[in-house]
Amino acid sequence: MTSETLDKRTALLPRLLANRPRVWRVGVVLLGSWLLAAASWAAIPMVPVPMTLQTYALCVIAALAGRYLATAIVVVWLFQAVIGFPVLASGAGGLDAVTGPTIGFLAGMLAAAPIVGGFAETRRGWIALTVMFLIGHALVLGMGWAGLALSGIDLKAAFTGGVLPFLPGAAVKSLAAALTVTLAQARLKAI
């Protein structure tokens, strides 16, 4: 893919990588997965799932990387978790960590990556990004709620324990991610 085949709707990182060897994309995917891991380690223990910076990192990554790279990043991050790398909240990894109470939230991350990344490819401005990041958080939390309910937790208890406490953080992380992306785009465009 050359820069001539890309238009303004393409996310920033794919435009910067357009004339680079494919190995650069592989590096971006690995780096992005490790950024998600680092955000996962910033965890506040809660029951049934901890509060982390994963969704903040996901929003920033998806907006800068676009739908395809963001999806690849989340897939690689989840693969690393499945094979036992300590990339999830509090350094968890392994099949039990992926299929436990957080399965719905992790599936929500995978679902949100292409949606948030695709939106960011067509919209600009921190207000539009904040709204999209709120929608991304709603998707992650909604799928997390469903995952908790399917695991046997009462629907109301799953909401009060797995969604409600995360709503203020989702709003703050959405705004912070939008501002981060806006600043990063301005800095990276200068390169």
Left (φ > 0), alpha (ψ -120 to 50) or beta: where does 94 sit?
A: left
- Residue 13's pLDDT is 87
Give whole-number Cα distances, 101 to 3, 96, 106, 170, 177, in Å. Answer: 43, 9, 10, 19, 26
Provide the domain limits for residue 134: 3-189
How many Cα neighbours within 13 Å face the side chain of 162? 27
Counted domains in the chain: 1
Tens digit of pLDDT per residue, the chain (191 long)? 444 444 566 788 888 888 999 999 999 999 999 999 999 999 888 877 888 999 999 999 999 999 999 999 999 999 999 999 999 998 999 999 999 889 999 999 999 999 999 998 887 789 999 999 999 999 999 999 999 999 999 999 999 999 999 999 999 999 999 999 999 988 877 65
How many other β-carbons are positioned within 10 Å of the β-carbon of residue 1?
13
List the CATH number of the domain containing 151.
1.10.1760.20
- Residue 10's pLDDT is 72
Q: What is the pTM of this model?
A: 0.90
